[in-house]
């Protein structure tokens, strides 16, 4: 369970260079680098917090990366989910949300992911399933706050 309320991951692993290259192509990262007057190639790894996770059933270790520092939002955080195949990382989901929850249910061998975001009047939950290449929106529901 990852939350916008957290300050990032304790003892995060080093983010691989190939993952940083993909993160630097994200529009939010580009916009923040421009505002901060930082060349895109010099966006620091301190803007991100990563967590190793095994989403698939194989031996590969995947990554969930959370925005921190100047990329942090107010009650909404950006999360990037990277899967590792053949020693290469691929972006499988980018999601601005309050909570990202890895479920035990699987689709195409990968754990399902759920997001939760709230406004002053309702909570929206979205379930994502792996389609063999990336995570896709599978089901969503919005409920009023009681």
The whole-number mean pLDDT for each consecutive block of 10 residues of the chain, a chain of 146 residues, reads 74 91 95 94 93 90 92 85 94 94 94 92 94 95 88
**Gap between the Cα atoms of 65 and 86, Å rounded:** 20
Q: Side by side, which strands form the sheet with 77-85? A: 48-53, 62-67, 77-85, 88-97
pLDDT, residue 50, reads 93
pLDDT, residue 24, reads 95
């Amino acid at each position: 369970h990852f939350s916008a309320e957290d300050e990032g991951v304790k003892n995060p692993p080093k983010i691989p260079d190939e993952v940083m290259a993909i993160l630097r192509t994200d529009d939010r990262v580009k916009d923040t680098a421009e505002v901060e007057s930082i060349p895109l190639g010099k966006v620091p790894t301190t803007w991100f917090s990563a967590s190793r996770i095994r989403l698939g059933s194989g031996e590969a270790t995947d990554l969930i990366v959370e925005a921190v520092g100047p990329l942090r939002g107010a009650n909404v955080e950006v999360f990037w989910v990277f899967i590792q195949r053949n020693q290469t990382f691929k972006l499988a989901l980018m999601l601005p949300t309050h909570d990202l929850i890895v479920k035990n249910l699987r689709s195409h061998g990968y754990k399902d992911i759920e997001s939760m975001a709230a406004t002053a009047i309702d909570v929206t939950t979205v379930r994502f399933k792996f389609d063999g290449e990336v995570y896709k929106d599978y089901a969503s529901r919005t409920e009023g706050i009681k």
